[in-house]
Amino acid sequence: MNADEWREIRKLHAEGATIKGIAESLGMSRNTVRRALAYDEPPGDHRPRKGSVADAFESSIRTALAEDPDISIAEVHRTIGWDRSRNTLAKLVHRIRAEVPNQLGEVDPLPHYGSSIPAFSTGFIGRDEELFALRRLLGTERLVTITGPGGIGKTRLAVQAATDFRRAFADGVRFVELASLNTAGLLAQAVLDGLGIIEPDRPGHPVEDILVHHLRHKQMLIILDNCEHIVDSCADLAAHLLRNTTQVSIVATSRERLAIPAEHVFTLPPLSTTRNNDPTSIGAALQLFESRAAAVLADFVLTESNRDTVRRICMQLVVCLGFS
């Protein structure tokens, strides 16, 4: 979809045409029409041309791919400072990737699934038991929803699980961040983008079915992060994927459950301020506090004189999280 097509879609919609009618009139998919109606401004032209802005970034993209062949479209977007159409970038990355195997005399199967697991600069503290329990669940369950209040560590646990479990899935682990997605109708497209799947518009083919086409025979773990604001759409998509694939597993993070039959709810408790109920011990919550405080104040350490104060602060934070 380019800027001219966007304007035509908006014009027809303003005249009262339905999404289905616009799609049939212009020979494009209904999902493309929905995307156009979701944009407040016309997108950049999705068709890269010689001498276009896309070409100016080609060297940076090649460098990023050389450093990390599995880099995701989203990570390329951030790395090179791309400010145009995501679809234009995806097509350019796809073209460059297709050239590289030919230069090496190898064949790269398509589509190319990029790694999309975010990295944290701080250590993972205090969730070893939960990580072990999550590993066991994924051995038997295909949909696990990590629930809990905002800020309790759902995303961090999911990211650590993705990092630790990737070798258990032949086709890898993919992390799809949904907090910034404001339009529930674009969920399937966001997941398609998050998986790094390059797919031209197919009039009459829902994006959900395109996802199934690519995932039907994949052994993959997909993490859907921050589902609560579009929980019904996430539930519908998860159910569709589980029903139509055999080896795709899903971990969702959400403040509320998806409430579908295949779901196993994993409620994440607050970090404990003690170990084994010993009031004098230092629990994971205090260890985390010390780690984060030391990153700001290099000489900060837990001592007998400040331990109880830190414990009270951590307990108050737990109470605050309960009301979030």
Q: How far apart are CA 226 and CA 252, in angstroms?
A: 7
pLDDT at 222: 95
Compute the residue count for the chain.
324
Q: Please state, in angstroms and rounded to a whole number, the distance separating the CA atoms of residues 165 and 222.
A: 11
Q: Where in the chain are the domains?
A: 1-43, 46-110, 128-267, 284-322
Q: Which of 20, 45, 97, 92 is nearest to 66 (CA)?
A: 97
Cβ of 176: how many Cβ atoms within 10 Å?
A: 23
- Domain 1-43 identical in fold to domain 128-267: no
Q: Running DSSP on this structure, what letter comes out for residue 287? A: H
- pTM (whole model) above 0.75: no
How far, in Å, CA of 72 to CA of 196, rounded?
6
Please list the alpha-helical segments (H only) found in 15-150.
19-26, 30-38, 53-56, 58-67, 73-80, 86-104, 128-138
Q: Which stretches in the chain have pLDDT values below 70? A: 1, 4, 26-27, 43-55, 70, 84-87, 99-116, 121, 199-204, 318-324
Crossing angle of helices 231-244 and 187-194, rounded to 10°: 60
Specify the fold of 128-267.
Answer: Rossmann fold (3.40.50)
Alpha-helical runs (H) found in 81-217: 86-104, 128-138, 154-165, 187-194, 207-215
Query: In this structure, what token pair is assigned to residue 289?
Result: 């506090």
Paired residues of 144 in beta bridges? 251, 264
Q: How many CB atoms sit inside 10 A of residue 51's CB?
A: 8
Fold of 1-43: Arc Repressor Mutant, subunit A (1.10.10)
CB 248 within 8 A of CB 215: yes
